Copies of this chain bind each other. A is one copy, B any other.
Amino acid sequence: MTKTNAGRFFEDYAVGDVITHAVPRTVSGGERALYHALYPARHALHSSDVFAQSCGLPASPLDDLVSFHTVFGKTVPDVSLNAVANLGYAEGRWLAPLWPGDTVTATSEVIGIKENSNGTSGVVWVRTTGRNQHGADVLRYVRWVMVRKRGSGPAPRAVVPELAPFVAAADLVIPAGLDFSRYDFALAGEPHRLRDYALGEVIDHVDGVTIEEAEHMLATRLWQNTAKVHFDATHRADGKRLIYGGHVMSLARALSFNGLANAQMIVALNGGAHANPCFAGETLRAWSEVLDLAETSAPGVGAIRLRLVATKGAAGVLRGADGKYDADVLLDLDYWALMPI
């Protein structure tokens, strides 16, 4: 019997199973510095303790996507080692900030399974929860992946969860103490507040970043994501390493500072698609579309729902006439962020 983990196959999931993911992780100022080295991240609340304190927080939390990547990385050996495709996200909510010194653990509940008609793979839905060392939830989201079958047994009874198309503004969790009533727009980098954005407005974030192999591998390892396609150039026939979709998310989000500098904290992930694979040598750009605007109960704090698109091409292009993603589009992400009203 082998001692190595070959990953789970479609047959290994049953609705109601709760998987404890291994390798808890303590984060520090080191992860924070690396995040700033890997991505052009400049949102002031995640860059400065003093700025975060002026917004009512005890210190500057780690970037919200650090929470996401850390929790996601924990799930890879149990959820996506044999995944053919990462199909989607839904109902993602950040429930508490992640602070330097925090230790993250994660569990996933299987909430859906459905075998494909070809009989060789199936779709698995999991609801993943990340917790800190106090047992408090920091992040919860649903993800579904296509997983290979090990054998040729009969299909299990299909269970397809009903998922919300987006998180309702009323369900957003605002970090304790957050207060934008004395928000310093000059230090934040842009004067635009929530009411300056219009529904349907499209923002071209202008800047581009050409990606190197070393960078995406440093990032992916940092989140202890072990999927071999990201690291092993001998894995694919064309010798390319597939870039972790979360690397594209973080790059695009960081680029969106230019035009959305005040969309400070991500509080919900409504949905997302890794539209096309991304490889080193490609130059990534980003654009955003304003999908919704809402108030929150916190002083001075509004919420903006954004479509964030990472592309190798032009801003504004998303799908062709056939409804399929344009070949240049890498990521189509739907999220809520907090912004001064």
**Residues of chain A at the chain B interface (Cβ within 8 Å):** 2-5, 20, 22-34, 36-40, 42, 44, 47-51, 60, 77, 100-101, 103, 105, 133, 186-190, 192, 196-197, 203-210, 212-215, 217-219, 221-222, 224, 226, 228, 231-235, 241, 258-261, 283
Contacts and interface: CB of A to CB of B under 8 A. Distances in A.
Nearest to A104: B48
Contact of A208 (B22, B40, B228, B283): B228
A40 B186 contact: no
9 contacts: A3-B190, A3-B197, A3-B260, A20-B187, A22-B44, A28-B32, A49-B133, A208-B228, A212-B214
B31 A258 contact: no
A207 B214 CA distance: 17
A27 B23 CA distance: 23
Contacts of A133: 49-50
Contacts of A77: 189
B38 A233 contact: no
B29 A28 contact: yes
A241 B209 CA distance: 10
A25 B3 contact: no
A101 B283 CA distance: 34
Contacts of A20: 186-187
A187 B22 contact: yes
Contacts of A215: 214, 217-218
A42 B190 contact: no
Contacts of A204: 2, 4
A192 B30 CA distance: 31
A228 B205 CA distance: 12
A48 B103 contact: yes
Contacts of A207: 226, 228, 231-232
Top-7 shortest CB links A-B:
A30-B33, A28-B29, A22-B189, A24-B48, A214-B214, A210-B233, A208-B232
A337 B283 CA distance: 40
A25 B47 contact: yes
Contacts of A32: 28, 30
B49 A26 contact: yes
Contacts of A222: 33, 36-37
Contacts of A31: 29-30, 33
Contacts of A205: 4
Nearest to A192: B3
B261 A26 contact: no
Contact of A103 (B3, B49, B186): B49
